[in-house]
Homo-oligomer: A and B are copies of this chain.
């Protein structure tokens, strides 16, 4: 086919998919091409806008590294990530809900014992004592892998520091639950923070006058054979950004009580001369069908 115009080109582009061997790839490509073409016609995209889009995507890719994933951040801020999470994890009531993975997880976080670690060693902030239990069907889940990561009091993850290496990680750890399904650790209180705005996602947020703020949270990934993996956050009850999360990730069942305590004995049995916070949270897994 030659002499394709802005209408006839879509049919021709779809015909070119007719020999696609994998039916799922074919289905995805047919829908993708249809929607991309429809978008370009719908807004009557100009060549200058098209080129700006090419450059935006190129720079987004080039900002990505082992420790930064700008395309995930873009997907998060466009609401795509949470949409995909939601449609793949419709969980029955009483089971912990899934939320966005975010761009700051890394494989190989330092392994820590089930109890008594301080994952914030030397990072300044208000002390936080976390206790958590993993359960399913009302029973504790022993030996589950619990990966956790969170930002510091200024909103930065360790991987955003130029001196970071995975062997020298902070505010990040991998635990295994004990026989009673429990873990505990000491850290610092997470705060609400802006997502990174020094890249293309920041340009998009600025151009649309959107807030980059996320409510305070700790990320958790909980995995155990026989159960649907759980990737979630525990948000802080009362945070002012719970209803305007820049990445659309807040679920009511993922909000925990970060309780302020007066100086005294901490959950780990130490004595604290300053106020501290505690979080006690329960993750409920869904057995694999």
Binding site for B on A (CB under 8 A): 1-6, 9-10, 12-13, 16-17, 19-22, 25-29, 31-33, 35-47, 49-50, 54, 57-62, 64, 69, 71-72, 75, 78-88, 90, 207-210, 242-243, 245, 248, 250-252
Contact = CB atoms under 8 A, between A and B. Distances in A.
Given A19-B208, A31-B42, A41-B87, A248 B4 contact: yes
Contact of A9 (B3, B45, B59, B83): B83
B83 A41 contact: yes
Contacts of A13: 78-79, 248
Q: How many copies does the complex hold?
A: 2
Contacts of A27: 43
Given A50-B75, A81-B50, A252 B3 contact: yes
23 contacts: A2-B251, A2-B252, A3-B252, A4-B82, A5-B86, A5-B87, A6-B87, A9-B82, A13-B79, A13-B248, A16-B210, A31-B43, A35-B38, A37-B79, A46-B84, A47-B84, A47-B88, A50-B84, A57-B57, A58-B61, A58-B64, A59-B61, A61-B62
A189 to B, nearest CB: 21
Contacts of A87: 5-6, 40-41, 44-45
B62 A62 contact: yes
B37 A243 contact: no
Contacts of A46: 84, 88
Contacts of A82: 4, 9
Given A5-B90, A13-B79, A44-B87, 10 more contacts: A2-B250, A3-B250, A4-B79, A10-B79, A16-B208, A25-B208, A35-B39, A37-B79, A50-B75, A61-B62
Contacts of A54: 69, 71-72, 75
A21 to B, nearest CB: 6
A17 B208 contact: yes
Given A58-B64, A59-B61, A207 B20 contact: yes
Contacts of A64: 58, 61-62
A53 to B, nearest CB: 8
Nearest to A64: B58
A166 B160 CA distance: 37
